[in-house]
Amino acid sequence: MTLHTSPDASPDASPASWVTRGPRPEPSQGRRAAEAVALVAIWVTAGYLLHLSRNAYLLLGIPMTAAFQLLVRRRPLRELFAGGTTRFALDRRGFAMATVLAITPGYYAVGAFTAADWTEFGWYLAAMAGAVAAAFSLRASSIVATVRSAALPMAIGAVGMGTVFGAVHIATGTPLPAMAAVAALAKYTALYYPATFLLEEVAFRGALDAHVHHDGDSRRWQSAAFVSALWGLWHLPVASGFPLPLLVVEIVVVHVALGVGLSLAWRRSRNLGGPALAHAVIDAVRNATMLGL
């Protein structure tokens, strides 16, 4: 807690007396929304100015999210993964979970290191570290609760991705290699699930959604759509395919459609496990159904 003198403090007032004046008033929802916009604007601006690759852009978010959580939200880092916890710790089962979750990114990290691709290597290291946070999240809840929390947004996103890219396959007459698609689905789910605990999902659900919407706030759906729109706009420095106005519309519409469910899953559970699993599976379905196109 930062100590400061107030105008009416007596000359001999002690620091202890300042501390006991009460907690810092909670900022309004409007101010919290503005702070979320500021974080995303800084992140997007850095992406454009530094001409970052997608993986470097993602990695930039790790220190930015941590700083936002500690300095703006003034909350402990563990609450990015599981609210209501008192300390970050793993029991034996948690260590076993973290080890299993780190195997796939660890395997690819070795290849990136051998190829001296340091940005790719950093991404895989982040995913390995995310495996520890994922295990903490799972132990703070349960696997069954995580899957239940993920079910609805995962179904909406996976069906949407499968429908869109399946239609493209049909329209173009391009076959989808079934076995390769199944392998890709497994691979990318195993990679993306731990990664989202340090990259992307932790920022937009664990930090920003938790900051913008507090229990008891009104405009529940609107704030979820707001955070999801920020999530979409965040993609601008690494997105392409359309002229800018159409690109903005496309990424905002898609990410609001996907993100509202992720935000609501986070708010119901205050555990990143469900939203992270849904996000990982949605992206894995996208990658799998894009094969051959």
293 residues of the chain, pLDDT tens digit each: 434 433 333 334 444 443 444 456 788 889 999 999 999 999 999 999 999 999 999 999 999 999 999 999 999 999 999 999 999 999 999 999 999 999 999 999 999 999 999 999 999 999 999 999 999 999 999 999 999 999 999 999 999 999 999 999 999 989 999 999 999 999 999 999 999 999 999 999 999 999 999 988 878 899 999 999 999 999 999 998 889 999 999 999 999 999 999 999 999 999 999 999 999 999 999 999 999 88
Per the listing, tokens 């919407």 go with: 213
- Asked if 123 contacts 58 with a C-beta cutoff of 8 angstroms, the reply is yes
- Asked if 128 contacts 105 with a C-beta cutoff of 8 angstroms, the reply is yes
Both tokens assigned to 291: 């094969």
Of the CA atoms within 13 Å of residue 31, those in its CB half-sphere come to: 6
The whole-number pLDDT of residue 23 equals 55
- Asked if 293 contacts 169 with a C-beta cutoff of 8 angstroms, the reply is yes
Long-range contacts of 277-280 (CB under 8 A, 24+ apart): 277/146, 277/147, 277/149, 277/150, 277/154, 277/193, 278/150, 278/153, 278/154, 278/157, 279/157, 279/192, 279/196, 279/200, 279/201, 280/188, 280/189, 280/191, 280/192, 280/193, 280/195, 280/196
Backbone angles phi, psi at 284, to 5 degrees: -65, -40
Enter the pTM of the model: 0.89
d(CA 86, CA 76): 10
The whole-number pLDDT of residue 220 equals 87
H or E element that contains 180? helix 178-195
H or E element that contains 153? helix 143-172
